[in-house]
Amino acid sequence: MVKKVPTSDSSVVAVMPLEGRWPVSGEMEKRNSVLEFARQHANTWLKLDLLCFWSRYPHAKFTAGAIARALGCNRRIDVEEALDSFVKDNLVDKHTDRALPFYCLTDDVSKRECVLDMRAYRRSLRPALSMG
């Protein structure tokens, strides 16, 4: 919400933010939400790459090895550790078929939406996360 404040010239009215905040557009609000989600869950570049990977393939199931190859990561164990942390955070589901673990994006609608929105902001996430 904003309030109108008279300026020194009584014919002109300035718009000031309430509670010290300027109103944000829907697009900026969505970008900020995606950035906050990335800050919360992507504390490594690999995790950020994994979230962006899932934004491109939200309906597929992959092994950790296939994901590591797709990301160009030489250490599959790093990918497995990151995926397991996402499983703990309920961002990714883990299924086993013939003793082989497969990973897929969660069915949780709010978390899926955040991951899917990351695709639109991928280019701005790395610089924004580097700054703070």
Please count the structural domains in the chain. 1
Report yes or no: 71 and 79 within 8 Å, Cβ to Cβ.
Answer: yes
- State which residues form the domain around 75: 2-131
More confident of the two residues 39 and 127: 39
The separation between CA 66 and the C-alpha centre of its own chain, rounded to angstroms, equals: 22
Lowest mean pLDDT among 3-12, 56-65, 77-86, 89-98: 3-12
Are 101 and 63 in contact by the 8 Å Cβ rule? The answer is yes
Name the helix (H) or strand (E) containing 3. strand 2-6
The per-residue pLDDT for 57 is: 94
At 120, which CATH number? 1.10.10.10
132 or 25: which leads in pLDDT: 25
As a whole-number percent, the residues of the chain with pLDDT over 70 amount to: 78
Distance, CA of 114 to CA of 37 (rounded, Å): 7
In the prediction, which pLDDT does 31 show?
Answer: 83
Residue 9 pLDDT grade (very low, low, confident, very high; cuts 50, 70, 90): low
More confident of the two residues 96 and 18: 96
- In this structure, the strands spanning 13-17 and 92-97 are unpaired
